Amino acid sequence: MKKYIRPILVLTVGMMMSVGVYTVIVFGLGKITPDKGLGEQMSVNGKRQYANVGQQFTLPQYFHGRPSAVHYDAAGSGGSNKGPNNPEYLAEVQKRIDTLMMENPGMTEVEIPVDLITASGSGLDPDISVEAAEFQIDRVAKARNISPEKVKELIQQTAADENLIFFAPQKVNVLKLNAALDNLK
C-alpha cells in the first residue's frame, strides 16, 4: 500500500500546481486585454450593456440577433440540446421562419440566413452574419423612415473581421449596430 501513496501524492500535487499555473496564466492574459477581462461594456440609452453578450431586440426598427435557447440569460448559457430531427426543434425553427417571413415581407424562405433561425451553442451570441443583417435592411429602413442604402452603409461600417482565421466571414455585433442606428440624426 505504501508504494501507491507516494505516486498518488506526487500526481495530486503536480496536477494542483499545473492547474493553478494555468489558471494564473489565463487570469493574467485576461487582465492585459483592453477591457481587463471584464467584457466589452458600452452605454446604450444611458444604460450599461455588455457588447459581447447577446441582447434581445423585438421592435421592428432594430436588427434582431440570433435566437436564444436560454432567452439571453447570461447566468445560464446553453443550447437547447435538441437534435435536428426532434419534432419540437423542427416546430421551433418553423415558427422562427414564419415570424421572419411575416416581419420581412417580400423575402423568400430560401433567402433566410441560417443564423436567424438557429440558436448558438451558448444562446448568447452577440453577432450575426453580414447576410443576416442585410436580410433585415428593408424592415429596419421602413420602420425608421430612412433609406435602405443608409442602413446598408451602417452595416458595412459596423461589420468586423475579428476572427484570427484567414478568410473568415465578417460579422456584425447587433447591439453596436442598433446603437449606431439610434445615433443617426
Residues 2 and 63 in one domain: no
The candidate with the shortest Cα–Cα distance to 96, out of 72, 121, 127, 65, is: 65
Residues 137 and 48 in one domain: yes
The candidate with the shortest Cα–Cα distance to 117, out of 96, 131, 102, is: 96
Check: CB of residue 139 under 8 Å from CB of residue 60. Answer: yes
Residues 51 and 107 in one domain: yes
Domain residues for 29? 1-38
Residues 118 and 29 in one domain: no
Residues 116 and 75 in one domain: yes
- The C-alpha cell 435538441 sits at 82
**For the whole prediction, is pTM greater than 0.85?**
no
CA 145, CA 139: separation in Å to the nearest integer?
10
Q: How far apart are the first and last CA of the chain?
A: 78
Supply the pLDDT for residue 161: 65
Domain count, the chain: 2
Residues 96 and 8 in one domain: no
CA 162, CA 37: separation in Å to the nearest integer?
17
Residues 14 and 95 in one domain: no
Residues 47 and 110 in one domain: yes
Residues 144 and 108 in one domain: yes
Check: CB of residue 82 under 8 Å from CB of residue 88. Answer: yes
CA 140, CA 135: separation in Å to the nearest integer?
10
Q: pLDDT per residue over 29-39, tens digit each?
A: 888 887 787 77
Check: CB of residue 159 under 8 Å from CB of residue 130. Answer: yes
Residues 44 and 33 in one domain: no
CA 67, CA 125: separation in Å to the nearest integer?
9
Q: pLDDT per residue over 85-131, tens digit each?
A: 899 999 999 999 999 999 988 888 889 999 999 988 888 889 999 99
CA 175 to the chain's CA centroid: 10
Check: CB of residue 128 under 8 Å from CB of residue 87. Answer: no
Residues 19 and 80 in one domain: no
Supply the pLDDT for residue 165: 62
User: Band of the pLDDT at 71, cuts 50, 70, 90?
Assistant: confident
Residues 55 and 129 in one domain: yes
Q: What are phi and psi of 125, to 5 degrees?
A: -65, 120
